[in-house]
Amino acid sequence: MKRVELIDVSKSYDKQVDVISNINVTIEPGEFFVLVGPSGCGKSTMLRMIAGLEEITGGTLKIGEKVANNLSPDKRDLSMVFQNYALYPHLSVQQNITFGLDVKRMKKEEQRKKAVEVAEMLGLTEYLDRKPRELSGGQRQRVALARAIVSETPICLMDEPLSNLDAKLRAHMRSEIRRIQRNLGITMIYVTHDQVEAMTMGDRIMILHEGKIQQIGKPIDIYNYPANPFVATFIGSPPMNLAKAEFDPKTSELVIGNALRLSVPKDEIGKLPRTSMTVGVRPENLHPATPENQEDVFHVEVTNVEILGNETVFSFKLGEEEWMAKWSGQWHIDIGDRMPVRMEFEALSIFDEQSGELIKKTIDYGNYVKQQEVSP
C-alpha cells in the first residue's frame, strides 16, 4: 500500500489558464478515494497526471516517499482501468489479463496460475479462451479490472469504468469493485461524474468544479454539511433546494424566496447575517403537515409528481425557484393539488451569499445503532 500526495498541483496547456489549480490532497494507503464532478471539471486530467500520462505544470506529486513528477508511467508502480477498457481484440481473455506480466518477463506457468486465480475472483473462469468481442460490456469491464489486479501494484487508478454499463450491472459492479479493493487492501483512486457511485463507493470523496477543489471528506459528511451551494446541489438526488432569503428583524422571521416566512429561534437570531443569504433544505427534510403539528406550515401547489413505489417526489414553486419534496411511501397527489408542507429552521443549511461559505449547518438526522458489549 502506498500514499499518494498532491502538493499545490496545477495543470495548464497554454501556460496562461490553469485547467487544474492549487490541488492539495493526501490519499492514504489502502483508501478508496473518489474524484467526482461534472464533465470538464478536470478529474480525468488529474488522474492522468498521477498515472504519468499528462505532464504536471506546477507543484509536486509524491507516490510513496518518492517525488514522481518526472517518473515514467512504468516506474510509478500503479495500474489503470480505462473507460473504454483498452483490451487487445486479437488476444484471448487470459492473454489480455497477463499482458503486463509478459512485459515483466514472468514465467508462463506463473502467469497462467495468476490469471486463473484472478479470473476465479471475478467470475471469468469460463471465458479465459474467448476474445473480447465475444464478451458483454460487463465481462469486458471485469477483464480490464483483472488485468489491473493481476499486476499486484499497490495503487489502482480507475477512469469512469462503469459508465458504459446498464444500471443493474453498474450497481452490481460497484459492490464488486469495492469488495475486491477491501480484500486486496490496495489504494484505489476512482474518477466518476456519478454522485451515486461517489457516495456508495468512496471512503472519502473530492468534489471538483472548474479545476478547483470544492470539498473533501466522507460522503455522508459532505451530504449533510456541503461546503457551498455547488456541492449542495451536486451531491444528493433530488438535489438540495436553494433560495435567497433575508432576516426580518421586526418579526424575527426568515423570509425565503419572497414567498415563505419561517420563525427563527431566539438563540439563532444573533448568528444570522443581516444581509441576504442563500438557504438550502434537503427534499426529505420537508415534511407533511399533521393535525398535531401546525407550526411553520406553508401551502404549495404541486407542479410535478413522481411516485417511485417506496417514496413520492413532488415539485412546487417557491418564489422564482422550483423546489422538491421527497416523502416516504405512496402519496396519491395530482398536479395542481395544494399540499400543506412543514419545514423546521433546524433543517436549514445557510450559506453566505457572496462567498458561498456554509455558515449554519443542518441538524444531524442520522439514526445510530449502539453496539452492545459482548461479555467474554
Residues 245-295: tens digit of each pLDDT: 999 988 888 999 888 899 999 888 888 888 889 999 999 999 998 877 677
List every span in the chain annotated with CATH 3.40.50.300. Answer: 4-229
**How does DSSP classify residue 239?**
P
Query: Cα separation of 262 and 138, whole Å?
Result: 50
Q: Residue 37 pLDDT more than 90?
A: yes
pLDDT band at 374 (very low <50, low <70, confident <90, very high): low
Alpha carbon 333 to its chain's center: 32
What is the arrangement of strands in the sheet containing 32-36, beginning at the earlier edge strand? Answer: 78-81, 155-159, 187-192, 32-36, 204-209, 212-217
The arrangement of secondary structure in 4-229, i.e. its CATH architecture, is: 3-Layer(aba) Sandwich (3.40)
Residues 86-140: tens digit of each pLDDT: 899 999 999 999 988 877 778 888 888 988 988 888 889 999 999 999 998 888 8
Specify the pTM. 0.89
CATH topology of domain 230-360: OB fold (Dihydrolipoamide Acetyltransferase, E2P) (2.40.50)
Question: What percent of the chain is predicted at pLDDT more than 70?
Answer: 98
Phi-psi region of 59 (alpha: psi -120 to 50; beta: other; left: phi over 0): left
Cα–Cα distance list, 323 to 256, 339, 341 (Å):
12, 13, 12
Mean pLDDT of 201-228: 95
List every span in the chain annotated with CATH 2.40.50.140. Answer: 230-360
